[in-house]
Amino acid sequence: MNYVHYFEPLALKEYVDALKWYKQRSDAASINFVKEMDVAIKVICSDPQKFRTTYKQFRETALKKYPFYIIYSIDESRKQVIIFSVFHSKRNPLKKYSKK
């Protein structure tokens, strides 16, 4: 059974900011970024346990062509994947799991 996904407000802002950055540089890059995010989210929602737990209840997966991690947790009772962060790999890794 597929889970539904939900973006925390901060994660949605990170995603939109990244999308804007790619859009300023190239339409193709922004379109491909969205496609890769969609594919990664579909994989997560089809099998949320697939990716390793990296910290407390958080799991993560990296995008293949873009320098971002999707940090998420699972709400089993609601069959929901909560996307906590769309984290750029060049950012300080100590801030990966903290709310800003």
In a domain, 95, yes or no: no
Residue environment code for 64-100, b if the CB has 16+ CB neighbours within 10 A, otherwise e: eebebbbbbbbeeeeebbbbbbbbeeeeeeeebbeee
pTM of the predicted model as reported, rounded to 2 decimal places? 0.89
CATH of the domain at 31: 3.30.2310.20
Span 62-67, mean pLDDT? 94
The domain tally of the chain equals 1
Q: What is the pLDDT of residues 30-45, one digit of tens each?
A: 999 999 999 999 999 9
Which residue range forms the structural domain that includes residue 61?
A: 4-89
In a domain, 54, yes or no: yes
In a domain, 94, yes or no: no
In a domain, 47, yes or no: yes
pLDDT surpasses 90 at 18:
yes
User: 37-41, 48-52, 77-81: which has the minimum mean pLDDT?
Assistant: 48-52
In a domain, 69, yes or no: yes
In a domain, 31, yes or no: yes
In a domain, 63, yes or no: yes
